Amino acid sequence: MKKILIICICFAAFGVVTLAAVYDESNFSALGRLFEPPPEGYIIGKDNAPGRGTHHPSENCGWCHGVGGRAEHYLFTMAGTLYSDRAGRAAVKGGEIIMEDREGNIISMTTNESGNFWTYAPVASDPYTVSTYHGHEPFVPLYVLDADGNLVQPAEPDDPRTLKYKTWTRKGNSARHMVSIAGVGGGTATTTRMSCNMHHGGISAARGALWVGNGPTLDAYPYSNLSYRKHIYPILRSNCAPCHIPGSTITSMNTKTDHDILSTAVDYSNGLDLMTYEGSAVVVPIYDAVIPNRVIGSKTVSKVGVESVVDTVSPGQSLLLQKVVPGALHGGGAFWEESSLDYRAIRKWIAEGALKN
């Protein structure tokens, strides 16, 4: 059932060309517009703010650029650093960060030579914001409803926790979709400013970073005898992990819409787990339909693995490769050109028999 639902959402997403999207509550639920391609038709970098801003790349800008911080004169609505890979090895210069708020306003920033970006552009407030501690209880509505469920008092628009957006990162043909929505102010404090670097950590957790994935995962690959463990797994791990993992993911609950649906357990993978060769079967919790985060049982989620999307007879025809080149219809977006090192490494490994070596 869930699988069918996700497929339908993707078809709907690709069929619609949105310029200035009209707000629809379902857009800002855990599943809403999850895999929508990045918006088009605006000026790239239009929301870049002045300054050099080359310092502290990968750190949480909100530490100092927050109320009471050392740099509180510069109170950004959003800031962060963009890297070319998830491990945060190389900063991306001239990459784009796109945000779309709940009123359909597009905010576009480009990165400087340290990969940093920042903006003061306003982000629309969600009158139905629920305050949570990192998506968990206690759930405190910041709005007031009357007995009939009508909105009597919206959440305070100046409270940064109510500023809601979705985001994408893009460089050339490479675009990343964000997998859930977020508020600008994290935590429980009304003054907190978080930066993207706070939540989008590199693999080692030593750095925080958003990543756009236009660079190769490894610096070099051998001409032959490619190894699944040494070469192929790291590519899939650093690019496909946000979605093609075993089991399902729980997203934060931060608007009323999230509380109206049965569960925020989302499976982004379409039944494909690229973190394992044979596939996986993991036991995941089933959540109560009314009480958020109350576990009432468990079930097994089974997925196919890497071996089921390779074609050793015609390597280039492998779904693993065809799905993720520019122009292909893929919920996760485009990852590499046929000339890219990672693409060529995977293709070679498939041609050599796609062994679990």
* Chain positions contacting ligand HEC, by CB under 6 A: 6, 10, 35, 51-53, 55-57, 59, 61, 63-65, 70-71, 73-74, 79, 81, 116, 118, 177, 179, 195, 239-240, 242-244, 268, 270, 272, 274, 309, 319-320, 323-324, 329-332, 335
- Report in angstroms how near the CB of residue 234 gets to ligand HEC at its nearest: 12
Query: Could you give the CA distance from residue 265 to residue 251 in angstroms, rounded to a whole number?
Result: 7
- Report in angstroms how near the CB of residue 259 gets to ligand HEC at its nearest: 24
Q: Are 61 and 195 in contact (CB under 8 A)?
A: yes
Distances 136 to 185, 188, 250, 288 between C-alpha atoms, Å: 15, 11, 10, 15
For residue 179, give the nearest of 267, 62, 305, 89 by alpha carbon. Answer: 267
Q: Residue number with the shortest CB distance to ligand HEC?
A: 332
Backbone angles phi, psi at 161, to 5 degrees: -65, -20
For residue 177, give the nearest of 116, 257, 266 by alpha carbon. Answer: 266
- Report in angstroms how near the CB of residue 77 gets to ligand HEC at its nearest: 12
Instruction: Look at residue 13 and give its three-state secondary structure.
Output: helix
279: left (phi over 0), alpha (psi -120 to 50) or beta: left
- Report in angstroms how near the CB of residue 165 gets to ligand HEC at its nearest: 17
Query: Could you give the CA distance from residue 345 to residue 341 in angstroms, rounded to a whole number?
Result: 6
**Smaller CB distance to ligand HEC: residue 179 or 284?**
179
Distances 28 to 114, 179, 261 between C-alpha atoms, Å: 32, 11, 12
**Smaller CB distance to ligand HEC: residue 74 or 228?**
74
- Report in angstroms how near the CB of residue 25 gets to ligand HEC at its nearest: 22
- Report in angstroms how near the CB of residue 118 gets to ligand HEC at its nearest: 4
**Smaller CB distance to ligand HEC: residue 47 or 59?**
59
**Smaller CB distance to ligand HEC: residue 63 or 139?**
63
**Smaller CB distance to ligand HEC: residue 64 or 261?**
64
Q: Look up residue 263 and give its amino acid.
A: S
**Smaller CB distance to ligand HEC: residue 130 or 236?**
236
Length of the chain: 357
